Amino acid sequence: MNILVTGGAGYIGSHACVALLEAGHDVVIADNLSNSRRETIDKIREITKKDIIFYEIDVKDTNKVEQLFNNHNFDGIIHFAGFKAVGESVNKPLEYYYNNIVSTIVLSKACIKYKVNKFIFSSSATVYGDNEVPFVETMDLMPATNPYGQTKAMSEKILMDAAKAHPDFSVSILRYFNPVGAHESGLIGEFPKGIPNNLMPYITQVAKGKLNKLQVFGNDYPTIDGTGVRDYIHVMDLAEGHLVALEKLRPGVHVYNLGTGQGTSVLQLLNTFMEVNDIDIAYEIVARRPGDIPISYADVSKAKKELAWTAKRGLKEMVRDAWNFEKNL
Ligand code: NAD
Ligand code: UDP
């Protein structure tokens, strides 16, 4: 298939491009590099030894998107492009709603106009909010009360309504849990701007000496050791999840959790990182981070049953590959 990957220069998108190219698909990337680097495109070529076409465009720009659809005969699109920092979304709500919602509308309109009938969307476990774990796809959504979470819930709804009105337009909504790690080559990975908000890049930057010590946000949650529990998933497993979601997409709208189904606490992740990589990480326990939920992990039975997909890589690979990428930067 010939696949348009928006946000393909970013963290998850670049790994998905590798998975697509290695499975024999052709890839066209559209990315405005607002949160990524041009070099990543060359790294994808280096890993896969395949060519990709890259357009540096904003996918909110209807004219540029239409030009793109005129230039290529796409079989499907994977839409990763978007802003993703929860804290920043509280301070810049309009930028978040504008970027994340308008891009989804412009791209889905183009798909319907040009009869590109496969649409894969990057959603997030944040749409489950405070539901009981494990999170199941059939639950009512309670997106976290931040603009980022709202943009994901709204984009899901927009795509569902579009698919209802256009029965040929098939949509797969993928709700990611906590993607971590990097491609095993160490050539592509996560490049957070400024001080990382997320746990794994924070740990790797302390390991590298870029940051002094990790702050663990709260140790009084009702969890195994009091620290927050999340479902960490290796980014290559996540990337492969997109491949099967695309290849097995049937008519209609389908929602899948992409996680491992395993919860891991902050201290468990930190200890695994220190053991596997043989590095000491300084840390201190501080107050809870406002807005955090205690526990998040996925029920992964739907993706297993319908897509025959499960995550294959464990925590050890996640911490090894995350460090392998950071240390080679
Ligand atoms: P990322 O920031 O690394 O990648 C997003 C890419 O989209 C970047 O390369 C950026 O330059 C590009 N982009 C943003 N707005 C654009 C626009 N209007 N036009 C063209 N390009 C644009 O983020 P990521 O971690 O790879 O996340 C990819 C998607 O997955 C996002 O939609 C994000 O919300 C979602 N997601 C991420 C996580 C996570 O923890 N990383 C979890 C759940 C969902
Ligand atoms: N966390 C932490 N210190 C950090 C960053 C995160 O203790 O510097 C904790 C956070 O409270 C949560 C877990 O690590 O329990 C994962 O946080 P992250 O921001 O990576 O993901 P999310 O909260 O979006 O699931």
> Is the shortest distance between the CB of 124 and ligand 1 below 6 Å?
yes
Choose, from 11, 55, 148, 176, the residue flagged as catalytic. Answer: 148
Nearest CA to ligand 2 atom 19: 198
Nearest ligand to the C-alpha atom of residue 32: 1
Cα dihedral angle (117, 105, 292, 93), rounded to 10 degrees? 170
Give, as one character, the DSSP assignment of residue 287. Answer: P
Q: Which atom of ligand 2 is nearest to the CA of 177?
A: 25
> Is the shortest distance between the CB of 119 and ligand 1 below 6 Å?
no
**Beta carbons of 271 and 279 less than 8 angstroms apart:** no
Which pLDDT score is estimated for 242? 98
Distance 18 CA to ligand 2 centre (A): 27
Distance 244 CA to ligand 2 centre (A): 29
> Which of 34, 94, 174, 178 should be mutated for ligand 1, with most atoms under 8 A from CB?
34
Query: Which residues are registered as beta bridge partners of 28?
Result: 4, 53
Does this model's pTM top 0.75? Answer: yes
End-to-end distance of the chain based on CA atoms, in angstroms? 33
Which pLDDT score is estimated for 291? 87
Task: Kindly list the distances between the CA atom of residue 22 and the CA atoms of 16, 49, 185, 240, in Å, as whole numbers in the listed order.
Answer: 10, 9, 14, 10
- Asked if 148 is an active-site residue, the reply is yes
Interval 102-115: pLDDT, tens: 999 999 999 999 99
Tokens encoding 274: 């220190």
CATH number of 2-182+232-259: 3.40.50.720
User: DSSP string of 192-217?
Assistant: -SSS--SHHHHHHHHHHTSSS-EEEE
**Beta carbons of 195 and 225 less than 8 angstroms apart:** no
Nearest CA to ligand 2 atom 20: 198
Distance 104 CA to ligand 2 centre (A): 27
Query: Which residues are registered as beta bridge partners of 229?
Result: 265, 295
Distance 220 CA to ligand 1 centre (A): 32
CA nearest to 40, candidates 68, 84, 8: 8
Say how far apart CA 127 and CA 165 lie, in whole Å: 24
**Beta carbons of 296 and 227 less than 8 angstroms apart:** no
Distance 157 CA to ligand 2 centre (A): 27
Residues with pLDDT less than 50, the chain: none
| Other Cβ atoms within 10 Å of 221 Cβ, number | 19
Task: Kindly list the distances between the CA atom of residue 249 and the CA atoms of 169, 186, 216, 235, in Å, as whole numbers in the listed order.
Answer: 11, 31, 40, 21
Say how far apart CA 288 and CA 19 lie, in whole Å: 37
Question: Domain locations in the chain?
Answer: 2-182+232-259
Do you find a cis peptide bond into 196, omega within 30 degrees of 0? no
